[in-house]
Amino acid sequence: MIAFSGNCLLGGRYLVTGASSGIGRATALLIAECGGSVIAAGRDESRLCETIASLPRSNEHVYSVQSFADADQTAEWTKRIVQTYGTLTGVFHSAGIELVRPVRMTKQANIEDVFGSSVYASFGIARAVSQKNAIVDGGSVVFMSSVAGSVGQIGMTAYSAAKASVDGLMRSFACEMASRGVRVNTIAAGAVKTAMHQRITQGAGDDAESEYAKSHLLGFGNETDVANAVVFLMSDASRWITGSVLAVDGGYMVR
C-alpha cells in the first residue's frame, strides 16, 4: 500500500537516473504507481530492464542507458531525452558512486569519479532542463545528496565534497528557475539499506555497524523512505518548497 494517491502524478513525465537499482529504482516504481510516466536511466542495462519490467502499464515507460561523468555530455544526453520523449514534468538525479578512502590516499582519478556522477552530471542536467520547453513551468528537479555534505566522516572527504557541491549548485539553480515556478531541491539521505550501503559498511564488523545504526535516531532507512520524499517533492503538495535540502536521515544530523 502506498502513501500517495494513485493519480497524484498522472499525466506527468519524469526522468529518473540511477534507476537500475537502489533508491533510483524504488523511486521509478513509486512514480509509476502514482500515475507518472517514467524515463528510467541507468548504467547496468540488464538490471535496468528488470526495473522497466516491474513498472505498471509498462508500455508507457521507456528507458535510456547513460554513464554520467561529464557535464557537456550529460547536457546533450538530457536534451536528446526531451527531443525524443517530450517536455519533462520532473527530474530525479539519483545516479552516483560512493568512495570511502582516507584523504592521504585520494587521487585525482578518485575525485573525478565521484564528482562525475554527482556534480558534473547535476550541472549537465541543470543546464539542459533550464532550456526552453525542456521542463514544464511549475515542474520539479530533485538531486540526490547526503548527510555527508553537511556532517564530516572519516574516509568520506571526496564524497562529502561532492554532495556539498550538489547542495550549493541546487540553491543557485533554484534562484534561476524560480521565475518559471520550477522547484529545485536536494535530499540529504542518511544511511539507507541499499547495495551501496552494504559496500560502505562491509568489513566494519557487527559492533561498528550497530553503533552506526544507533547514530540514526530511527535506525537505518530503506529505499522507499527516500522514494516517498521524492514523490512528495514532485507532487503539487510541495509547490511552495524550493532551494531546500530535505533531510531524510532518521535523525542522524540532530545527534
Domains of the chain (ranges plus CATH)? 13-248 (3.40.50.720)
What pLDDT shows up at residue 59? 60
The sign one gets for the Cα dihedral 58, 230, 10, 42 is: negative
C-alpha cell read off for 119:
556534480
What stretches in the chain show pLDDT beneath 70? 1, 58-60, 66, 194-210, 212
**DSSP count for the chain of H helices, then E strands:** 9, 7
For the chain, the straight-line distance linking the first and the last C-alpha, in angstroms and rounded, comes to: 32
Query: What pTM was computed for the model?
Result: 0.93
Alpha-carbon Rg for the chain in angstroms: 17
CA within 13 Å, CB half, 188: 23
Number of Cβ within 10 Å of residue 58's Cβ equals 11
C-alpha cell read off for 182:
520550477
How far is residue 113's CA from residue 105's CA, in Å, rounded to a whole number? 14
What pLDDT shows up at residue 62? 76
Burial category of 55 from C-beta neighbours within 10 Å (exposed 0-12, middle 13-18, buried 19 and up) = buried
What pLDDT shows up at residue 3? 81
How far is residue 48's CA from residue 42's CA, in Å, rounded to a whole number? 6
What pLDDT shows up at residue 171? 98
